[in-house]
Every structure is written in C-alpha cells, then in structure tokens.
A and B are shown apart, each in its own frame.
Chain A
Amino acid sequence: MIEVCELRKSYADLVRGQFVAVDGVSFTATAGEIYGLLGPNGAGKTTILRILSTVLRPTSGTARVSGFDVVTQGPQVRRKIGFVSTNTAVYDRMTAQEMVEYFGRLNGLSEERLRERVEDVFARLKMNEIRGVLGAKMSTGMKQKVSIARALVHDPPVLIFDEATMGLDVLVARSLLKTVAELREMGKCIILSTHIMREAERLCDRLAIMHRGHILAEGSLEQMRERHGEGDLEELFFRLISEHEEAEMQSAECCTQNDLARVAP
C-alpha cells in the first residue's frame, strides 16, 4: 500500500544553509495495518506525511501509494488517500454537509454514490446533528469530525493522520482513536504520526521511532521490546533518542578535530 524508499528532504535555509528534515527514511505499510511514526517535534514526521500526501516533493528517494508515484502521479495518489492533519482546517463559510460533499465531488464521486457515502459517513461519525452548522460556528471536536468525514467520503484505501488528536479533549480524542481502530478493521492502511506514547502503544501494529529525520528503530511493539530489552515504550524512546544525540555529538566533534588537524601545521 505504502512504500517509502530512501526518502530525503532538505530545505534551503537562509541561516543554516541546507537543512535536512528527513534523511534516508524507508518503510512500508500494508492494508489492515496501523503504522505509527513516533517522535518528538521536529523529527520529520509531518514532512514525511506531507510528502505522502504529495504537497511536498522529496529531494531524493521515492514514495509510492497504492503503486502510484507521489512525485509524478500526484492526482492518482491523492485519490487514494484521506489526509487529516492539524494543518488541514475546515472552511468557515461552509456547512459540514457542503464541505463533505464538495470533497466527495472533487474526488470524482457520482451524485448517487456521493449521497450514499455522505449518509454512511455522517452516521458512522455520529454527526447528523451538525450537518447544517457553518464551520465558523463549530467546536474543535466538531471540526475534527468534519475533517475525518471529508477524508473518508471517497472511501480511500489509505488514511493518513498527522497528530490528529492534538488539541482535542479526552472524550473526543478517545472516540477518534476508536474510529481509527474501526477503520483498520475495515481493511484500510493507516499511517499516523504522534508524540503521545499511549496512543502509539494502544493503536499501532508497527512503529517507527523517529528523531531528527532518521528512523532509530522500527517494528512491532513486541519486536522492539525484545530487540532492545526494554519493556516500557517511553523508556525505550528516551534511551534511543539520547543515544542518537550522543552519537551525533561525537561525530560532530570528530569532524571538528579532523578539520583542526588539517589546518594545524
């Protein structure tokens, strides 16, 4: 479903020069599976998900969604995904129903199928009572529901959730995670990013722990626990990250010493 191979993304930065946000990341995710990207802020999770949703272009490497290339076959890829992120808001001057229908039509659904899907999605997400509410009048929870409905309306095989529970209260977050679990049961391939350990532990079939553009560890929770001899995910997470930071620091020092040695007479 999703194949990411040696993905790399760098930006030109006025102060730092080339800044590498994602550095040689590879992973695959299949249907009926929830794949989690777990990492602190700035780990490169959002960048990867934005590349998968084709709004960013990789500097090198490839990513395919349902066999379509994210660089050259953008429209086909976007037809296969539903993307929910804190950056994808709902229109203020549109009602929930109008918004969901609009995206259904953009995804090429016929009017008949659209009606069917809208009914199905509104019923599933229990949002029939907010059909006629304008985006500007919605609460954060309602908005998130509309976003998910918008992502589900064309029944895509792949769903991408980028920090989807951020800013939600416990009740709404819980119901959202329940929805995600249900979607897996329906055979969707789900990829979600989070920095909350509990979410990752509860939901993800497989996980990648990310830090500064690199994947530090990858596999199912059990595999990781076995491989690193650490029962608690949070402990494992901190250990891996501090080890990575130390290694980076050492290599930086090594480079400086080499440079100094070259300059010295």
Chain B
Amino acid sequence: MFLNNVKLIFFREVRDQLRDRRTIFTVLVLPLLLYPLMGVLVFQVQQFLREHPSKVRIVGTAALPEEPALIVEGRLSDKFGDVSRLEVEFVPRTNLSSEELKSQAQSDLRLGVCDAVVYFAPDFADQLAAFRNGETRAPEADVIGDTARDKSKIAAQRIETVILQWKRALVDRNNKSSNIPAAAANPFEVKRVDVSQPGRRRAAIWSKILPFILMIWALTGAFYPAVDLCAGEKERGTLETLLTSPAARGEIVYGKLLTVMVFSMATAVLNLVSMTGTGSFIAMQLQKLGSGRLPLDVGPPPLMAMVWLMLALVPISALFSALSLAIAAFARSSKEGHYYLLPLLMLSLPLMMLSILPGAELDLGFALIPLSGLLLLLRTLIEGQYWDALRYSIPVVGVTVLCCWLAIRWAIDQFNNESVMFRESERFGVGLWVRHLLRDREDLPSVGEAMFCGAMLLVMRFFFSLVAPPATSWSVLATTTLTMLLMVAALPCLMAIILTKRPAKTLLLCRPSFWATVPMVGLLAVALHPLLLLLNEGIRFLYPIHPEAVVKLREIEGMFINAPLWQALLVIALAPAICEELAFRGFILSGLRRMGHRWGAILLTSALFGLAHGILQQSIGAAVIGAVIGYVAVKTGSLLPGAIYHAVHNGLSVVIGRITPEMVDARPVLRLALERGSEAGELLYRWQAVAVAALVAAAIIWWLKRLPYQQSAEERLQDAVDRSITLAASDLPTDRTAVEEREPGLMSAARS
C-alpha cells in the first residue's frame, strides 16, 4: 500500500467535506448551539415546574385536634414543612360517606379541580384520644390521589410530607403530656456517611453518561460523511473516476476511512465538550439557586476522564467509521444510504445500553461483547479502578481490534465487490431469490452462506440450551449432548446438499493430500494437550469462573468420569469430532476461504467455534484449538486429520480424568508424564513432559507448514494480486472448475 495515495485521498476528501455547508453545520455548528439551547430549555422547564402549585382539598378539618394546629388562620401551618407550593381548599365537614367521597375525588381529580384530596373522618379527634387511652385501632387519614397522573402524584407527595411532620408533632405533644422524654419515640438516628471524594463522586456520575454520549455521536458523526463519500460519490459518478486511477481499493478505503474517522471524532469531541461545559454550568447554577437542593454533586468531569475518553475515541471511531463505510458502499444512492442508519443504530444501541444497566460490571462476559466491553472498560478507568481495567483490557482490546479489522475488511471487500460497486436496481422477491440460490449453485458455499450457517448454529445452541432438560444423570446428559451434536451436523450437511454443487468437497470429505498427516496430527494433539491445559489454567486464573458454574461443571465432570469409558469417549470425543468438524471446518471454513484470506478464514471459523462453547472461559481455549484444527484442515484438504485431532484432544481429557494418583504411583510409564498436584487427587503434567511436548508440537507444525497445499481459487487470485504476478491465461482463477480439476495433478507432482 502506498501511504502517499492514502494521504492524497484523505486530504482531498477532508477538503471536499469542508466545502460542504451541510457537513460544517452538522459537525461544527450544531453541537456548539445544541447544548446551550437545550440548557435554556431546561431552565425554562425548571422555572415552570417550581412555580406550579398543587391544588389540595382537605375534607373534615373540623374534626382535627386543636393542638398542635394543622390549620392556623384558615391556612396550613408552615411549621410542618414547605407549604408555599400547596393551594389548599378546606372543607370543615361533609355528609358524604367515605366511598362517595372517593368517587367524587376521582371525578374532581380527572377534571383537574384538585390534584389530591385528604380525608379525616368526622370523629378523627375522638378516635385519636381513644387510641391514646389504649384503644387498639389507630385513626386513619386518607390521602386520595391518582398515581397515573404526575401532577396528582406530586400533590399527594407534598401534602403527605406535611401531614407526617404534623403527626410527629402530635407524638411529641402526647409524650410531653405523659412525661415521656422525646428520646423514647426516637431512640436513635440513622445517618448516611459518604466517604467518597468530591472528584470521585463526580467521576462516577460522568463515567455513566460520557462514554454513552461519546459513542452515539461517534456513530452519527461517522455515518453522514460515510454516506456522502461512498453512496454520494456513486450517485454523482465520481467513484468510477477514482476507481480507474492507480490508487488500489485498499488505499481508497483507508483514505476515506481516515476522513470519516476525523469527522466522527470531531463530532464526538465537540459534542462532548459542549455538553459537559453546558451541563456543568447549568448544574452549578441550579445548585446556587436551589441552595443545595440538587442531590447531585455535578461539576466539570475530572481531567483524567477526558484523557481516557479521547484515547477510547480512536478505536470507537475506527469501528463505526469502517462499519458506516461498508454499509454506505453497499447503498446505491445517498437516500438509500440514509435508510441504513436506523438499522445500524438499532444494532449498536442495545450493546451500548448493556453497559449502563444498573449492576453491569466489567467481567469476562461483558469484556467479550463488542462496544459494551469498551464502554465498561472506559467506566472502570474513569472510576480509577486500574487493576480491573488492566485485567480485562486484553479481551476488550482484542475484541475491539478484531471488530475493527473485520469492519475494515468488510469495507474493502465491498469496494472490491463489483456487484456492489456497479449494483443496479433489480427486481427482488423472496421466491426469485430462493430460485436463484437453488438454480445458480456454485461448487462451494459463499462467504455469506458460511456466516449464516455459523450464526444459525449459535442461535440453535442458545434455544436448545433453554429447552434441554437439566443434566440430572449421565444418560440425560449423554442424550442431550448427542441430540445437540446431531443438530450441529445436520444443518451444514443440509445446506451443503441444497446450496452447493459439490457437497462432499464442501464438507472436506476427501482423502487427505498426504496420509502421513493423519498420525502426525494425532501426535500433535497429544503434544499440544499439556500446553492447552496450561492455557486454560491461565485463563481461569485471570478470569475466574463463577462459583455456581464451577459446582455445575464439577457435577458434569463427575458424571462422565463415572460413566462407562466407551460411552464417555463416544459422547465427549468421537461425536463432537465428527459433528462439529462437519460444521466448522467443513461448511463454514470452505465458505469463508472464498474471502481469499486463508488466515482470516481460519481465525473467523475458530472464533465461531469458540462462541459455540457454553462457558466463556472455555470459549477462548476452544478458539485456540479451533485455529489449530483449521490450519490442519487447510493444509491437508481433508476433514479426517482435523477430526482425529479433535477426537484425540477430547479423548485425552476423558482418559486423564479417570487416572488416579495411585495409578500413577503404580505405573512408571505414567510417572514419566504425570505427577501429583498440591490438591488431593489432583494430577499435573511434569514440566519436563510439557517442555518435550512443546518441542514435538513445534516440530510437527514446522513439518506441516512445509507441505504444499491446495489453495482455493480466491486465495490463488489474492496471492497473485498481492505479489503482482501475471497468471497464465489457463490459470485465471474465476473459472473455478477448471482450477480444481487441474489440482490433483499439482498435488501428485508435489508428492513425487
């Protein structure tokens, strides 16, 4: 890639956007105006709220005791709290029954004649006296309100506060007259002590709001320029001009991506600055006016918070910019492009909202969710919990980088995809599309079909786990596991048969290119087993499994240790090796390899494979194994060696689970590899064995690496493009069948 071209395109696009009045307005002017205007609005509303009095009717005032007086000179006494916002109408006595009064109150509340009604029974004072003299039933004062109406709710709340204060005064007077000290009614006070520093308190408030605002604006700020830069250019006809220049598609995408990022970041920063500035100003003004009535301590956010936000803004903008660019490249016109903003927002909003749910804390689960993890990491950093942030920064950064990379690749692929670049409107109908899928089948599944299969497998697993019976015994566990695995295998097999011309080739049901790979890969599984166990230990140390899950895992482990060995091997080793391999290294990998990037396909497949494992801590280990098996499958061109690896790896776990320390003591062969651990009954690999295994594994991987392998047509093309070499006329890759038919010859030449 030539940085020069990226720079040229970037500067041109930025200048172009800056010459557009609409962009300047939305990016620069709007945020600077929006928040002050909103502030003015808040002030207005606040004023309106404060000046609005509540209309309350108090019925039965004639029956109230004279001391302490609730009503003084025809008005509510101001001894019992703030009565300035209460407009009270007194009805000394009524002939209505309690029920009639309620229905009258209901209609009055609805008509807005009053907002709340308080009812004292005609003999309220007498009941009160009787209660003081030992009567068991206390008199009641009804506060009648309508909780469906805010005005009524506020009125009821205000009058209730006054009545409660009055009640307290009544208690004090009673105590006094009975010579009981005031302390008897109120033996102790409950006092809250907040030890947080004002800065921290402010950080806690801002840490919830700011990351969210930042993301929303980063997305909005990315989307509009992206639409103008792709769909807009398509519409204006300038995109083809650029495509015929020597700039490569990657350079064009990176140039445009940087432009979109600049606008996304500028929008986010300006909004943030304008919002925090206006927000803190208003909050401080309100505090001054309300003399501390505002429960929040809001001031300008701490400086470190802003630094973290700016740092996080770079990946956030990169991700949203790449996504927007890919989506905008797909659109034929700006109008169509703008339609796609809503779906993108709808997809990202729930991920953002997750992080502001009460109780959401940064843990491994959240860390692995795109956007949510990043938002929570930001919050943790702003709150100053650096150890937690550091611990989870690896998965968060990993997931974010992976998402950014995928989004950028998607955008570049969109630009490379001529059916997207030169898409013309055509009639679309579900029937037509299904017929097209069946009629125009290709040899191998498309990338989209592979991704669809992966997504369907995850959805299927999720729903199956909801309906599956709890694993109460080995037979239930074995049955549900086998059923699930059969479903996992059935979907890709069906899709291969229906959607492709060569299902066997799709599912890699071919001879391995070299038979020697089969035993070697089996050996590799044995050699890598100790290392993968170490990796799992490390993952569990960094990200401990929830204690409840540990108990469940122990139970399940216990079940398959006590089950007959052949059954355990069938359910845990053999069945997954066949079923999961058909799905992941068969259908999904074959489809994804058509992206033209071998490692991209392997890593994406293994990420899906990892996600398909229940517990997150297991997922990471599974993804690593998935990558190894994926590499084996690509290198051997067959499902068999990978399935052998899978079976041996899982089988070893089953077998080692059954070996007891006593067996190790009795057999010298076992003592070579295993030793007792610190816990009772625990067995560990000897470090010498781990070292030897690592060497053996490295040697086998090196051997595998040197083997020639069958590239997919797209990989061969990508390779030729990367190396800028001329392919012979007969080697032109899009003629897929021709390439694949030539391949056996190539492989036998390599063998000989």
- Seen from chain A, the residues whose Cβ lies within 8 Å of a Cβ on chain B are 5-6, 11-15, 17-18, 50, 53-62, 64, 68-69, 71-76, 78-79, 81, 83, 85, 87-94, 102-103, 105-108, 147, 150
Chain A CB within 8 A of B247 CB: yes
- Within the complex, the shortest CB–CB distance from B42 to chain A, in Å, comes to 38
Assess whether B241 is in contact with A89, with CB atoms less than 8 Å apart: yes
Q: Which residue of A50, A59, A71, A106 has the most chain B CB atoms within 10 A of its CB atom? A: A106
Structural contact, B236 and A81, CB atoms closer than 8 A: no
When distances are taken between beta carbons in the complex, the residues of chain A under 8 Å from B426 are 13-15
Given the known inter-chain contacts A55-B418, A57-B418, please indicate yes or no for A108 contacting B12, CB distance below 8 A. Answer: no
Least CB distance from A8 to B in Å reads 9
Given contacts A15-B426, A72-B727, A78-B246, whether A102 and B12 have CB atoms under 8 Å apart is yes
**Complex partner residue of A71 from B8, B237, B433, B732, CB under 8 angstroms:** B732
A57-B418, A72-B726, A88-B244 in contact; A93/B16 too (CB < 8 A)?
yes
Considering the complex, give the chain A residue whose CB is closest to the CB of B7.
A105
A54 near B238: Cβ-Cβ < 8 Å: no
- Asked whether, in the complex, the Cβ of B729 is within 8 Å of the Cβ of A62, the reply is yes
What residue in chain B is nearest A49 (Cβ atoms)? Answer: B244
B66 within 8 A of A: no
Can you sample 23 A-B contacts with CB below 8 Å?
Answer: A6-B729, A15-B427, A17-B440, A55-B418, A57-B734, A59-B735, A60-B734, A64-B726, A69-B727, A72-B720, A72-B724, A75-B248, A76-B724, A87-B237, A88-B244, A89-B240, A90-B238, A93-B16, A93-B20, A102-B8, A106-B8, A107-B245, A108-B246
- B225-257 with Cβ < 8 A to chain A: 236-238, 240-241, 243-248
| Given A54-B244, A57-B734, A59-B734, CB of A14 within 8 Å of CB of B727 | no
Supposing A58-B732, A76-B724 touch, asked if A85 and B240 sit within 8 A by C-beta, the answer is yes
Contact across chains for A55 and B734 when beta carbons are under 8 A apart? no
A60 to B236, alpha carbons, bound, how many Å? 31
Residues of B within 8 A of A (CB-CB), count: 43
Q: Within 8 Å CB of A60, what residues of B? A: 732, 734-735
How far apart are the CA atoms of A57 and B248 in the complex, in Å?
14
By the criterion CB–CB under 8 Å, are B427 and A150 in contact?
no
A93→B238 CA distance, assembly (Å): 11
Q: Which residues of B contact A62 (CB under 8 A)?
A: 729, 732
CB contact between A89 and one of B236, B418, B439, B734 (< 8 Å): that residue = B236
Docked CA distance A50–B735 (Å): 19
B19–A56 touching, CB < 8 Å = no
In the complex, are the beta carbons of B724 and A14 less than 8 A apart? no
B419 interface residue (CB < 8 Å to A):
yes
**Cβ A150 vs Cβ B732 within 8 A:** no
Complex Cα distance, B15 from A102, in Å, reads 12
Distance in Å: Cβ of A258 to nearest Cβ of chain B:
21
Other-chain residue from A53, A57, A92 in contact with B244 (beta carbon distance below 8 A): A53
CB contacts (< 8 Å) of A17 on chain B: these are 436, 439-440
Closest residue to B721 on the A side, CB-wise? Answer: A72
Q: Known pairs A12-B436, A75-B247; list 15 more (Cβ under 8 Å).
A: A6-B729, A17-B440, A53-B244, A55-B240, A55-B244, A55-B421, A58-B732, A72-B721, A72-B724, A75-B246, A75-B248, A78-B246, A88-B241, A103-B245, A107-B246
User: With contacts A91-B16, A102-B8 known, is A69 near B244, CB below 8 A?
Assistant: no
**Known contacts A13-B426, A14-B436, A56-B422: does B19 contact A93 (CB below 8 Å)?**
yes
Q: Is B566 an interface residue (CB 8 A)?
A: no
Closest 7 CB pairs of A and B: A89-B237, A88-B241, A72-B720, A83-B244, A93-B19, A60-B735, A78-B246
Q: Report the separation of the CA atoms of residues A125 and B735 in the bound assembly, to the nearest whole angstrom.
A: 44
Given contacts A69-B726, A88-B241, A106-B8, contact A18 B440 (CB under 8 A): yes
Give A69 to B725 CA distance when docked, in angstroms: 8
Asked if B717 is at the interface of the complex by the 8 Å CB criterion, the answer is yes
Is B463 on the interface with A (CB-CB < 8 A)? Answer: no
Q: Is the CB of A14 within 8 A of B236?
A: no
Does B711 count as interface, using CB distance less than 8 angstroms? no
Min CB distance A9 to B, Å, is: 10
Using Cβ atoms and an 8 Å threshold, which residues of chain B touch A150? 241
For B732, the chain A residues whose CB sits under 8 A away are 58, 60-62, 71
Q: What are the residues of chain A within 8 A of B436 when measuring CB–CB?
A: 12, 14, 17
A14, A94, A147: the one contacting B433 at CB < 8 Å is: A14
Q: Is B536 at the interface (CB under 8 A from chain A)?
A: no
Interchain CB contact (< 8 A) of A90 among B241, B433, B720, B729: B241
Complex: how many Å from CA A89 to CA B4? 23
User: Which residues on A sit within 8 Å (CB–CB) of B428?
Assistant: 14
Q: How far is the CA of A55 from the CA of B240 in the complex (A)?
A: 8
Is there contact, CB below 8 Å, between A92 and B236?
yes
By a CB distance below 8 angstroms, the chain B residues around A76 are 724
Interface residue ranges of B407-449 to A (CB < 8 Å): 418-419, 421-422, 426-428, 432-433, 436, 439-440
A71→B699 CA distance, assembly (Å): 38
Q: Say yes or no for B5: interface residue by CB 8 A criterion.
A: yes
Query: Which residues of B, 528-560, contact A by the 8 Å Cβ criterion?
Result: none
In the complex, the chain B residue whose C-beta lies closest to that of A81 is: B244
Residues of A within 8 A of B4 (CB): 108
**In the complex the two chains form, what is the Cα distance from A72 to B728 in whole Å?**
11
Contacts of A106 in B (CB 8 A): 5, 8-9, 245-247
What are the residues of chain B within 8 A of A72 when measuring CB–CB?
717, 720-721, 724-727
- B237 A88 Cβ-Cβ under 8 A: yes
Q: Provide the residues of chain B in CB contact with A11, threshold 8 Å.
A: 419
Shortest beta-carbon distance, A94 to chain B, in Å? 7
Q: How far is the CA of A108 from the CA of B419 in the complex (A)?
A: 29
User: Within B683-726, which residues are at the interface with A (CB < 8 Å)?
Assistant: 717, 720-721, 724-726
Residues in chain A near residue B440, CB distance under 8 A? 12, 17-18
Complex contacts, B720 vs chain A, CB 8 Å: 71-72
Closest A residue by C-beta to B722: A72
Give Cα distance in the complex from A83 to B734, angstroms.
Answer: 25
Nearest A-chain residue to B724, judged by Cβ: A73
CA distance A58 to B734 in the complex (A): 8
Minimal beta-carbon separation of B56 from chain A (angstroms): 64
Q: Shortest beta-carbon distance, B429 to chain A, in Å?
A: 8
Task: State how many angstroms separate the Cβ of B499 from the closest Cβ of chain A.
Answer: 14
B717 interface neighbour in A71, A79, A94, A102, Cβ under 8 Å = A71
- Which residues of A are found within 8 Å of B729, using beta-carbon distances? 5-6, 61-62
Chain B 723-752 interface mask (CB, 8 Å, partner A; 1/0): 011110100101100000000000000000
Quote the shortest CB–CB distance from B153 to chain A (angstroms): 55
Whether B238 and A91, one on each chain, are in contact in the complex, defined by CB atoms closer than 8 angstroms, is: yes
**Cα of A64 to Cα of B728 in the assembled complex, Å:** 11
Nearest CB in chain A to that of B245: its residue: A106
**Does B243 contact A55, Cβ atoms closer than 8 Å?**
yes
Q: Give the CA-CA distance A55 to B366 in the complex, in Å.
A: 43
Considering the chains assembled together, what is the distance between the CA atoms of A85 and B242 in angstroms?
12
| CA A18 to CA B441, docked complex, whole Å | 11
- Of the listed residues B9, B20, B238, the one surrounded by the most CB atoms of chain A closer than 10 A to its CB is B238
State the CA gap A89–B233 with chains docked (Å).
9
Q: Which residues of B contact A94 (CB under 8 A)?
A: 12, 16
Report yes or no: B238 in contact with A89, Cβ–Cβ below 8 A: yes
Shortest beta-carbon distance from A83 to chain B in Å: 4
- In the assembled complex, which residues on chain A have CB atoms less than 8 Å from the CB atom of B717? 71-72
Interchain nearest-CB distance for B716 vs A (Å): 10
Give bound CA distance, A103 to B237, whole Å: 16
Question: Within the assembled complex, what's the spacing in Å between the Cα atoms of A167 and B248?
Answer: 31
